[in-house]
Structure 1
Amino acid sequence: MRIGIFFGGPSREREISFAGGKTAFENLDKQLFEPVPVFVDSFGRFIKLDPRWMYETSIRDFFPSPVQQTDGYRVYIESLPHLAHVAVSPEVGELITPDKFRDHFDFAMLAMHGPDCEDGAIQGLLEWYRIPYSGPGLMGSAVGIDKVLQNEMIALANGQDKGMMVVRYDQWQRGDRQQLFEEVKGKLGVPIVVKAPHQGSSIGVAIVRQDSYGEFVTALNQCFFQMEVGADEWLALDQEARQAWAQRIANLDEGIGFPVVTGTTFLYHPKELIAYLDKTFLASKDTIILSSAHAEDQVLLEAYVSGQEFSCGCIQHDDGSTLVLPPTEIIKIVEVFDFNSKYKPGATRKRIPVNTTLANNQKIQYNIGLVFQRLGINVCARIDGFLTPEGEVLLHDPNTIPGMSPTSLIFKQMAEIGLNVTQAITYFIRQSIRERIRTGKDTWHLRQLLQTLDDKINLQRSAVIPAKGILFEATDEQYAKARQCFGKLNAEGKCTPVPVLKLDDTTYYQLPVPLMFKDYVEDLLALVREERDPLLVETSERAAQLTAFYAGRVEYGVKMGSTPEAITPVEDWVVLCAESV
């Protein structure tokens, strides 16, 4: 089956999408599927990408091409609007249109995030052209993109009472901001959580921690994706500092992104913005408001919740019933879980399950499953929340296309039921076809597609393939290499990788799948000596039938021996440590 891997798109999360696209491209089961990378640019064009570009660090490394990025700035293609009418270079790939999708792939794996990508827009396009796609359908996607609607519907689903307010853009621009600040404090107290309602990856999230009007204004401007530039502030910068400032505007992880709008003027490029500000501040000392062309029209304000923060995935059994995965506790090393802390190493630690009682973890799972069902979500979602000191579960932010790097939370949680990344992706594809069949569109074609895939999975599961050992030492560097090797061998499907940790010359551990998904080797070392948490045992038992279909028989215990060969027989070894086998 040919799998079109869609990534990029016009949203601020396109680089996270690129990382997810790489994961799918590299970890797709090559015995079952053929990956076809499809890059979606900011103009909404679909480009069947030359696979070599999948190994670049950033989208801007290949699109627009370095030749097209002039004046020393790194920009996305929307900063060069004339290129919307220029043919895509064959060096990059082939432009394809939706009516020709079926000539190139049989299924669309969606690794895109944010508006147009998670709100039902791309899903609706694919349904129109009868292309089955991954993840929730139209209803679940539409709910999953709107944080204001989510809060209201979650409250209806599970009865939670979570303080919130909505501030409209015209109310913010024309109203009495000081009076608004007092109203918000009176209703929500301080701290105040401020969110852009249609963004993900913790983009457009700010916390007003102090009773500070200035902090409040900054937070709301940030989440409206606008900024105020004063003449004195600008004129104090030298040319180099102005260029660095304008480049930050173009960087979607720290700036509002181009094009920016001031009044009725649209500015597309950092060089154009600098020239405009230089000229304007020569004639006037008035503060200029810069707004993203894709600014939010309202901002969500929530009462700050103290407690243990968690994120919990929910998937489905074949019959559509829910299977809630073990929740992951997010332990912050930094104050705000924003874009940088979410994706930069060392900013957070993760623990599965939440460090609380079995009853509380079960309560979290119950609420996640309830909300998943009542919000009309299917296939997969990741829902965040808090466990308060009083034991109350408060949920928010259902994410219908969870992040898909190899160490993303959804993969860590699926590993706890025995599925590696390759098997998890196979689940996403198969269950998505199953759910598209339920819509009653192109039913018999989809049934045939599903049956063909099931036949291949059953044949693969019954085949006898050799085992290959991965021997590594207890360092973060070797553990990272072992995880990478483990993923590569699983995707190739020619052998069964068996990870073995060397602790010392006479102590070796054969590791089960869940222990290949920790962030640091110290987490791994703590877990090889511990009994498996009761919630993990309980969840694995509920998932047993699903896991057996995708992974066969799975063992969750750690095996120990004095030599690698004493633990398990393998055909040959990948030796990452100094010792030969």
Structure 2
Amino acid sequence: MATKRKIGVIYGGKSSEHEVSIHTALSVINAVDKARYDVLPIYVDVTGGWIQGAWVEKEITHVNELRFSLDKQQAPDIFALKQTVDVIFPVIHGPNGEDGTLQGFLELIDIPYVGSGVLGSAVGMDKVMMKEVFGNAGLPQGRYKSYLRSELETRMAEICDAVEAELGLPCFVKPANMGSSVGISKAKDRTGLEEALRFAARFDRKVIVEEFISGRELEIGVLGNDEPDTSVAGEIVSSNEFYDYEAKYKSDGTRLDIPANVPASVVERMKELAVRAFRALDCSGLSRVDFFWDEKNDALYINEINTLPGFTPFSMYPMLWNEAGVAYAELIDRLIALGIERYEEKKANALVAEQFND
């Protein structure tokens, strides 16, 4: 009988997406193939404390039961994880989880992990840097401007004037580094713009303002490393004016159409642009790429890439792949294999010391 791999699932974290991460962890832990893997849940609480737990039984379904089923007296030796598990499946959403910080730590302790590395994670999380890279790669996207919180505090009127003149109203205002649609507002007038800028600045020191693009919201999944595949396309039909946090997690009216009812030519363009975006950021493992499609003018714009998309069975990314014929448990299995593949590929790099020993 083949030896089972031990998978460490790191979840929770110090961000506003803490509860979202717990839901994701529960889904992954319950779905992973127990004949092939043993699972070690590793919880990061809202203060940054690490707690190691025993196996969580399949019948446990409530978020709090996953959190408190852990042995709170058992803090893991996080620097010895390489001796404890074979690969890490990180599912901490938002800052300090999908922004390259956790990935950098896992690189330092030399352990394979699922998903993009430090560069792809960091650039994918920072919407301003992401758009800079997209622009350099020639990907079609809307106009945008970015500002620091300190700038908003000293020259709000000047900034609002520039936004109105260059982007127009309405527009979208977002924290540069935040996920799950946290801190996003649609500004329709000058007062709303000022309020939106201040609101976004509560979540990050840098905010981004994007021009309003009237179009349908389409998404596609990417899976792989150097030669990635793409899923079917999906469409978000939001019950709210736009797909904000409320619509994403609390509204029953938001609809996910999978596959999206769009022409095949649009899907083919999405696939090509999604792979280009994935490669531009040097992503690996998984990503979800979001688009706006201006149906009237048949214009497709890339909105953003998410290097750690929602990952419950009812999240868009796994649902897109399920429609493409890759079931949830198989998707987890493939992601683990891709994480190990990328780790082994990095091992092919020559060590600096070897240059001086030859």
CA–CA distance in structure 1, aligned partners of residues 87 and 56 of structure 2 = 21
Residue matched to 2:353: none
Q: Which position in structure 1 is the counterpart of 2:283? A: 377
| Residue 347 (1) aligns with residue 253 (2) | yes
- What is the CA–CA distance in structure 2 between the aligned matches of 1:412 and 1:111, rounded to whole Å? 17
Aligned to 1:424: 331
C-alpha change, 1:31 and 1:345, in structure 2 (3 Å) is farther
Matching of residue 436 in structure 1 with residue 340 in structure 2: no
For 1:93 and 1:4, how far apart are their aligned partners in 2?
18
Deviations 1:271-311 (A, max 9, x none): xxxxxxxxxxxxxxxxxxxxxxxx41121000011111012
2:236 corresponds to which of 322, 330, 336: 330
**Distance in 2 between residues matched to 1:375 and 1:115, nearest whole Å:** 18
Alpha-carbon deviation of 1:61? 7.1
Matched, 1:139 2:45: no
How is 1:30-69 mapped onto 2 (pairs within 5 angstroms)?
Answer: 30-51=34-55, 55-58=61-64, 62=68
Tell whether 2:38 aligns with 1:8.
no
In the alignment, the residues of structure 2 paired with residue 60 and residue 321 of structure 1 have an alpha-carbon distance, to the nearest angstrom, of: 36
Give the counterpart letter for 1:195 in structure 2: K
Among 264, 276, 301, which residue is 2:209 paired with? 301
Question: In structure 2, how many angstroms separate the alpha carbons of the residues matched to 1:26 and 1:6?
Answer: 14
Structure 1 vs Structure 2 CA RMSD: 2.2
Conserved 8 A contact 1:18-1:59:
no
Maintained 8 Å contact 2:26/2:66? no
2:324 aligned partner, one-letter code = I
Corresponding position of 1:362: 268
Would you say 1:171 and 2:175 are equivalent positions? no
Higher-Rg member (1/2): 1
Alpha-carbon distance change, 101 to 159 in structure 1, aligned in 2, over 3 angstroms: closer
- Partner AA of 1:19 in structure 2: H
**Gapped regions of structure 2 (runs ≥ 5):** 351-358
Select the residue among 101, 104, 112 that pairs with 2:81: 101
Q: Could you list the per-position Cα deviations for residues 152-202 of structure 1 after superposition, in whole angstroms to 9, with x for gaps in the alignment?
A: 111222342521111221211111x33432221111111110010110000
Measure the CA separation in 1 of the matches of 2:348 and 2:177. Answer: 29
C-alpha distance in 1 between matches for 2:336 and 2:215: 35
Return the letter of the residue paired with 2:207.
V
Q: In the alignment, which residue of structure 2 is the partner of 1:205?
A: 184
| TM-score, normalisation: structure 2 | 0.90
CA distance in 2, matches of 1:45, 1:144: 26
Query: Deviation of residue 44 (structure 1)?
Result: 2.8
Structure possessing the higher relative contact order (Cα contacts under 8 Å, 6 or more residues apart): 2
Gaps of 5+ in 1: 64-89, 226-294, 444-581
For the structure 1 residues 3 and 52, does the alpha-carbon distance in structure 2 shift closer, same or farther, using more than 3 Å as the test?
Answer: closer
| 1:214 and 2:191 aligned | yes
Contact 1:353 1:361 in 2 (8 A): no
Q: Distance in 2 between matches of 1:441 and 1:322?
A: 20
**Tell me, what secondary structure is at the counterpart of 2:232?**
coil
- Answer whether contact 2:259 2:320 (CA < 8 A) is retained: no
Q: Percent identity, aligned pairs only?
A: 26
Runs of 4+, deviation exceeding 3 Å: 50-56, 58-63
